[in-house]
Amino acid sequence: MTNVAVIGAQWGDEGKGKVVDWLASRADVVVRFQGGHNAGHTLVVGNQTYKLSLLPSGLVRGKLCIIGNGVVVDPDALLAEIARVRAQGLTVTPETLRVADNATLILPLHPALDNAREVARGDRKIGTTGRGIGPAYEDKVARRAIRIADLAEPETLSAKLDELLLHYNTLLQGLGVAPFVKETLLQGLLALAPQILPFAEPVWERLDELRRGGKRILFEGAQAVMLDVDHGTYPFVTSSNTVAATAASGSGVGPAAVGFVLGIAKAYTTRVGSGPFPTELHDATGQLLGDRGREFGTVTGRRRRCGWFDAALVRQAVKVAGVQGIALTKLDILDGLPELKICTGYRIDGAFCRHLPASPGAQAAAVPEYETVEGWSGSSRGARSWADLPAQAVKYVRRIEELVEAPVTLLSTSPERDDTIMVRDPFEG
C-alpha cells in the first residue's frame, strides 16, 4: 500500500473534491498542504452538498484531517467554515481536525492590500479572489508572518504586529486605503486564540507516527498545476506551489512519503479569472459546456470560462508534477455533442509548440492546433464500468491517455460519489 497525492492538472475546479471524498474512504488521514480559502471543493453526498475551502474533504468521511504548514489560514474563515459544516451534521473537533502550529495566518490587512492592488491594476488585474492569499505568502517568505503558534504568545504577537503595520500601512496609504490600528488587530487575534489553539500542533510529528504505523495518507492539493507560482501561466497564477512535490514541504513529510500522484482533469477545460486560455470557446458550445457543467466557482461564484480539452496543457502538468495517473471528470457533460476537439499543441508565430511557453507574450499568442474526434449519442452519465459507456466515449478517453502520456486511472461520470469507474486503485501504487 502507498500514500496518494491528489492535484489539479489544469487550472483548478476539476472536481478534486469528489475524487478526494471518494478516495478518502480508503484513507486513514487526509492532509491539505497548500493554498488558502481561495480554493473551494464541492461535495455532493445524497441530498446534501458540502462546500469546503480550508477544511480537508476527508471530514465528510469522518477521517482525521490535517491542515499543513503550507496552507495560509484565515482564522475567521476557518471558524466560520467549521460552524457551517457542523450545522450540516459533520463532527469537527480537535480529535478530527489538526492544524499545523507553524502555518501562516491571514489577517484583515491582507485582503485589504490584495483588493487595493487589484483596483490599482485596472484593466491589467490578475483576477485574484481578494482574500489576501498572495500578501500572506509574501509575508511568509519575507519572514514577517504571524503564525498560529504566535497566538499563544501575546508579547510575540504585539512585536510582530509592529513590524507588519510598518510595512502594510505605508503601502495601504499609498493606495488610498485607511491604515489599520494595532490595538484592534491585537485584541482580535487574542480573542481568536482560544478558539484556534486547541486544533494546533506540530503536525509533522503526527504524520511521521501515522506513516510509521502503516496508515494511508491522502494529500489534498488546492488550485492546479497551471496555477503554480513557478510552473503556471505567470503572473496569472496563485501564490504557492501547487505541484505534488509541495505535499512533502507543505505538511512536513519526506518526499518518499508522498506516494502515487493522481492528477485531476476535466474532459474539457475551464478557467476562472484572467490569464491565457488557448482553447477557450466564445460560442454556443462554450455556453453549453458552462450551463451543463454548472461552471461557477465554489469560492468566487464567478462563471468559469470553458473550452475544449487541452492535451498539451495536461501533458505539461503530467511532466512537471510527476503525475502517474489521471482522474478524468465530467465526461457526461460531453454527451450528445456530434464532434469534439482536443488540442495537441499550439502555433506561435507560425511555429508549432507542444507546450505552453513561459513568456506571457507567447502564451497570449498561442493558437491551438486541434484534432477532431467523433462524439457519442448515448449517455455516459452515472456509468460505473467501461461496459456502461458509449463506445465513442471510451475512444475519447483512450485518445486522451495517448496525448497526455498518462493512464486514466479513475473516471467520474456525475457529481455523485459512487458514479466512478476505478481502473486502478491509486493506493495500490
CB 117 within 8 Å of CB 109: no
Can 283 be counted among the known catalytic residues?
Answer: no
CB 24 within 8 Å of CB 66: no
User: What is the rounded distance in angstroms from the CA atom of residue 93 to the CA atom of residue 20?
Assistant: 21
**Region of residue 259 (phi > 0: left; psi between -120 and 50: alpha; otherwise: beta):** left
DSSP 3-state assignment of 80? helix
Which amino acid type is present at position 429? G
Question: What's the DSSP call for residue 418?
Answer: T
In degrees rounded to 5, what are phi and psi of residue 79?
-65, -35
Whether omega for the bond prior to residue 278 falls within 30 degrees of 0, making it cis, is no
Can 167 be counted among the known catalytic residues?
Answer: no
In degrees rounded to 5, what are phi and psi of residue 260?
-70, 135
Cell of 129: 479572489
CA nearest neighbour of 397 among 423, 377, 427: 423
Q: Please, which residues have CB within 8 angstroms of residue 202's CB and are 6 or more apart in sequence? A: 100, 101, 102, 252
Q: For the chain, first and last CA: distance in Å?
A: 7
Question: Which residue of the set 37, 41, 110, 231 is catalytic?
Answer: 41
**Would you name the residues annotated as active-site residues?**
13, 41
